[in-house]
């Protein structure tokens, strides 16, 4: 970072003061607790929407693209339609303990039906849209249906999801379709006429959502979310800021995962903000939709996966009008799910300083489906990538020594009470003090000053040993490699179990030519190897893959991170090619 950029002021992000209690336990564990009180105004999902329907009735809650503009739902309109849909669900006779299954993309109708079902204490179970699209592996949908036992199905487009809706596992279930209803389906308009509007009856401890884990380490489990937990996690996130302004976001995080469902959609509802739904993706084929949306809307908060930031900074650097619109009022930049290279973050800041004369604070967060998802957050002015923050209000973190690392365990009102119909797995998931065991590791940036925050230190289950017995910290070397290379790659798969050294398969930045990517990989890894300590920190082989990860195959999870073990299996042929005794010219090699 240049001296000029380092000296530039930060735009006021209005963060709350960091509060932290630190305790050291006899077994070597470190407990970090944020004692800040949590706002208890809203304890059900619908309470927030109903509040803003009265307080700011004409404010937009959710917007989706419709032709050249946006279709919008204000808070007052949404509250009325939610009540009408809730009455229709009662008239259909499906309201009860069995959930409403969603095969649907993010959209206004999706939000309305979700909150309508939740208002009647009917759990909502959105599965990844990939489960039901053309070419989907229907065994995944079958497994989800057997696990969830839904009472009915909602789809935003029965034609788009026709293959999934035709699966044998859904035979006999009522299907509600917002568009392109098939014979026998019930259109959303028809549903709203089945009964009189219904007022919310859900209570804080009723089940609101069943969300499937990503399944990156085995079969998905159905995580139970109660109304209280979802509502309070939104309040906890809000408590990280001293900011009364309603947020404005353009976001693509899928609502089948807790990040999009809880930390985005419901956090927006909690704060009375506006969410503009982005159906773009951080791929060369789909990112144009995101850019078009960000030319139309100036957000106050922007969250993207690192692959998205790598594509976005290229556009910001070449499009002055886009940069002016984007930086007009944004005051927090957020990434998550994977490592963001420092070089990419610095380039974003350079455009910000050139455009508006200020840097914008870069934040990240930490958690899992089971923790709400948000457990930690960077809630201070920051331009350093790699941090995952400190516990958010009302949350306690235990860092427990495990295999030479510190395992993260979480306790707070946002943590799930357990897994649907799996008391055995629920019992295994919590330690003797009631903390949820994440299976992730973290490290203190400065052990002598915990207030400086935590950094992600990999998943315990992803690590492996080389043939020499040397331990490889997958998360650490992956982050270091991506940071060293910069924006030429979007992520990587660390390989080398029982081999003589570490190899990494890299996903390319689709905006760059292959020769430029290969050169950046060589230069970055050569620098990394010069600074590495020990065999487990050096990379001896690298190969750039032809394209990005395949979400339909589960290679990239709904969270946005690479499922390392699964990706290694999917690319076994490329792994073998990378480690061949006589590798081809595209394999980048270094001395062991």
Alpha carbon distances (Å) from 282 to 106, 137, 169, 289, 539: 16, 23, 32, 10, 27
Cβ-Cβ contacts under 8 Å for 581 (sequence gap 6 or more): none
Residue 22 has pLDDT above 70, yes or no: yes
- pLDDT of the residue at 214: 63
Of residues 82 and 243, the one with the higher pLDDT is 82
Average the pLDDT over each of 60-64, 170-174, 214-218 and give the range with the smallest value: 214-218
SS3 532: coil
Q: List the helix and strand counts (H, then E) for the chain.
A: 19, 28
Q: pLDDT-based confidence at 305, cuts 50/70/90?
A: confident
Give me the pLDDT at residue 1, please.
52
Whether residue 373 is preceded by a cis peptide bond, meaning omega within 30 degrees of 0, is yes
Q: Would you say residue 177 has pLDDT above 70?
A: yes
Average pLDDT over the chain, rounded to an integer: 92
Burial 427-449 (b: 16+ CB within 10 A, else e): eebbeeeebbbbbbbbebbeeee
Least confident of 27-31, 157-161, 516-520, 534-538: 534-538
Task: Write down the pLDDT at residue 561.
Answer: 67
pLDDT at 452 over 50: yes
Q: Mention every residue, 6+ apart, whose C-beta is less than 8 A from residue 210.
A: 99, 123, 124, 125, 148, 222, 223, 224, 225, 420
C-alpha distances out from residue 211 to 180, 226, 436, Å: 26, 11, 17
Query: Would you say residue 339 has pLDDT above 90?
Result: no
Share of residues in the chain with pLDDT > 70 (%): 96
Contact 83, 113 (CB under 8 A): no
pLDDT score of 396: 98
Helix (H) or strand (E) holding 569: helix 564-570
Global pTM reads 0.85
Residues 138-162: what's their mean pLDDT? Answer: 96
Domains in the chain and their CATH numbers? 3-41+230-460 (3.40.50.12780), 70-202 (3.40.50.980), 463-589 (3.30.300.30)
**pLDDT number for residue 216:** 47
Contact 265, 115 (CB under 8 A): no
Give the whole-angstrom CA distance, residue 495 versus residue 567.
Answer: 10
Q: How far is CA 341 from CA 22, 216, 409, 499, 542, in A?
A: 30, 24, 27, 27, 18
| Model confidence at 78: pLDDT above 80 | yes
Q: How far is CA 498 from CA 465, 466, 469, 477, 590, in A?
A: 6, 4, 8, 17, 18
Pairing of strands 100-103, 124-126: parallel
CB 102 within 8 A of CB 256: yes
Closest CA to 364 of 488, 455, 432, 300: 455
Name residues whose C-beta falls within 8 Å of residue 577's C-beta, 6 or more positions apart in sequence: 543, 583, 584, 587
């Amino acid at each position: 970072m240049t001296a000029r950029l380092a000296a530039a002021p930060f735009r006021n992000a209005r963060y709350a003061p960091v509060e932290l209690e630190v305790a050291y336990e006899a077994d070597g564990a470190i407990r970090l607790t944020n004692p800040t009180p949590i706002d208890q105004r809203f304890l059900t999902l619908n309470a927030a929407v109903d509040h803003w329907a009265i307080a700011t009735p004409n404010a937009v809650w959710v917007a989706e693209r419709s032709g050249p503009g946006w279709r919008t739902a204000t808070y007052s309109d949404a509250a009325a339609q939610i009540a009408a849909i809730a009455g229709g669900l009662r008239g259909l006779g499906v309201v009860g303990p069995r959930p409403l299954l969603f095969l649907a993309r993010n959209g206004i109708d999706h939000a309305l039906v979700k909150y309508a079902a939740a208002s009647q204490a009917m759990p909502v179970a959105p599965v990844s849209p990939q489960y039901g699209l053309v070419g989907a592996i229907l065994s995944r949908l079958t497994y989800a249906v057997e696990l969830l036992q839904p009472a009915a199905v909602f789809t935003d487009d029965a034609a788009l999801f026709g293959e999934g809706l035709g699966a044998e596992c859904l035979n006999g279930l009522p299907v509600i379709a917002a568009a392109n209803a098939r014979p026998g389906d019930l259109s959303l308009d028809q549903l709203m006429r089945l009964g009189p509007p219904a007022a919310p009856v859900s209570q804080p401890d009723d089940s609101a959502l069943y969300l499937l884990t990503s399944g990156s380490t085995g079969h998905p489990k159905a995580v139970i979310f109660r109304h209280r937990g979802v509502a309070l996690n939104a309040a906890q996130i809000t408590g990280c800021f001293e900011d009364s302004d309603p947020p404005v976001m353009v976001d693509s995080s899928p609502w089948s995962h807790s990040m999009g469902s809880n930390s985005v959609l419901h956090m927006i509802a909690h704060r009375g903000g506006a969410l503009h739904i982005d159906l773009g993706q951080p791929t060369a084929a789909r990112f144009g939709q995101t850019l078009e949306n960000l030319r139309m809307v100036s957000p106050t908060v922007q969250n993207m996966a690192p692959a998205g930031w790598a594509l976005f900074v290229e556009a910001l650097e070449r499009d002055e009008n886009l940069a002016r619109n984007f930086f007009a009022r944004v005051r927090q930049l957020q990434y998550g799910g994977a490592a963001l290279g420092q070089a990419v973050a610095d380039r974003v800041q350079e455009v910000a300083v050139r455009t508006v004369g200020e840097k914008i604070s870069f934040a990240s967060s930490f958690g899992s489906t089971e923790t709400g998802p948000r457990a930690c957050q960077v809630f201070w002015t920051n331009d350093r990538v790699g941090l995952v923050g400190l516990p958010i209000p009302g949350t306690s973190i235990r860092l427990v020594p495990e295999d030479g690392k510190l395992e993260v365990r979480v306790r707070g009102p946002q943590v799930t009470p357990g897994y649907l119909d799996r008391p055995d797995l629920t019992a295994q998931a919590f330690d003797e003090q009631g903390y949820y065991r994440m299976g992730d590791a973290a490290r203190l940036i400065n052990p002598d000053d915990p207030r400086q925050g935590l950094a992600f230190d990999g998943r315990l289950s992803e690590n492996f040993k080389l043939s020499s017995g040397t331990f490889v910290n997958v998360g650490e070397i992956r982050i270091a490699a991506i940071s060293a290379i910069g924006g030429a790659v979007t992520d990587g798969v660390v390989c080398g179990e029982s081999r003589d050294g570490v190899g990494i398969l890299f996903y390319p930045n689709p905006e760059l030519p292959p020769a430029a990517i290969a050169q950046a990989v060589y230069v970055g890894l050569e620098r990394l190897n010069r600074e590495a300590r020990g065999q487990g920190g050096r990379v001896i082989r690298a190969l750039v893959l032809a394209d990005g990860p395949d979400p339909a195959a589960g290679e990239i999870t709904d969270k946005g991170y690479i499922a390392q073990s699964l990706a290694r299996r999917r690319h076994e042929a490329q792994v073998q090619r990378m480690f061949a005794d006589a590798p081809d010219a595209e394999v980048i090699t270094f001395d062991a």
